[in-house]
Amino acid sequence: MKLYLVRHGQTDMNKEKLYYGWTDCPINEQGKKQAKALQCFFENIKYDKIITSDLKRAVETAEIINNGRNVPFEKRKNFRELHFGDWEGGHYKALKQKYPDEFTKWAEDWKNFTIPKGESFQAFYKRVERELDDVIAQTPEENTILLVTHNGVMSAVLCALLGMGFDGFWKFFLEQETYCLVSIKKGNVLLEKINCPILK
């Protein structure tokens, strides 16, 4: 099985560096250009299914990339980004002032701390891992999947596939308008490409 990983295109909230895990915002004009560049790249690559987070920014990016191709298109809620709860739509500096105690607890125990009305990193990681396991179990080994999702989800997927666990999470940052490629064969995982730029 080959798994291509692609991050959604830029959004305005993204550009403003806000926390917006489950906030359902669209991609902006730059995001559409990024998705179109990815579409030009993937039009020469055969994939058997496109899977996306069910959030608008991922779906829009996936629809542009897919561009009417006759392959199954599947939205999966469990591939959403971390749910930031009360922190959704806020900037780091403002939130740190508003929630000083919570931010201290988050810094001290980022794996287990549950964001107010949101979720813990551990809960996020486990739901992504379960969904990934389900995709792998349902996919014939000779098939190729294109997964369009979020930076945090992609980092969690790579950690799970490479056996790095929670502690490997901060070793990754996945750029927009790039792709990652992972091969999975008989339980063996090979990371072939990461943050690979699209040649224009």
Instruction: State yes or no: is 83 an active-site residue.
Output: no
36-75 residue pLDDT tens: 999 999 999 999 999 999 999 999 999 999 998 999 999 9
The per-residue pLDDT for 2 is 98
- Active-site option among 8, 83, 150, 177: 8
Interaxial angle between packed helices 121-138 and 151-161, expressed in degrees from 0 to 180 and rounded to the nearest 10? 70
The phi and psi torsions of 164 (rounded to 5 degrees) equal -90, -20
Average predicted confidence (pLDDT) for the chain: 96
* Tokens 């750029």, located at residue: 175
One-letter amino acid at 165 equals G
Residues 189, 158: contact at Cβ < 8 Å? no
pLDDT, residue 136, reads 97
Name the band, by pLDDT with cuts 50, 70 and 90, for residue 187. Answer: confident
Give me the mean pLDDT over the 180-188 stretch: 94
Residue 112 has a CB neighbour count (10 Å cut-off) of: 13
Count of CA atoms in the C-beta half-sphere (13 A) of 122: 7
CA–CA separation, 39 and 41 (whole Å) = 5
Domain ranges of the chain: 2-12+28-82+121-197
Q: Measure the CA–CA gap between 50 and 66, rounded to whole angstroms.
A: 8
Please confirm, yes or no, whether 81 is among the known catalytic residues: yes
Q: Which is catalytic among the residues 60, 81, 119, 177?
A: 81
Rounded to whole angstroms, the Cα distance separating 194 from 181 reads 7
Distances 69 to 35, 48, 65, 80 between C-alpha atoms, Å? 15, 10, 9, 24
Query: Which tens digits make up the pLDDT trace of 82-95?
Result: 999 999 999 999 99
Predicted local confidence at residue 198, as pLDDT:
86
CATH architecture group of domain 2-12+28-82+121-197: 3-Layer(aba) Sandwich (3.40)
Cα 144 from Cα 122, distance rounded (Å)? 28
pLDDT of 174 higher than 80: yes
- DSSP per-residue string spanning 5-57: EEEPPP-HHHHTTB--SS--PPP-HHHHHHHHHHHHHHTTS--SEEEEESSHH
Length of the chain: 200
pTM for this prediction: 0.96
For the cut 80, the answer to whether the pLDDT of residue 200 exceeds it is: no
Q: Are 13 and 20 in contact (CB under 8 A)?
A: yes
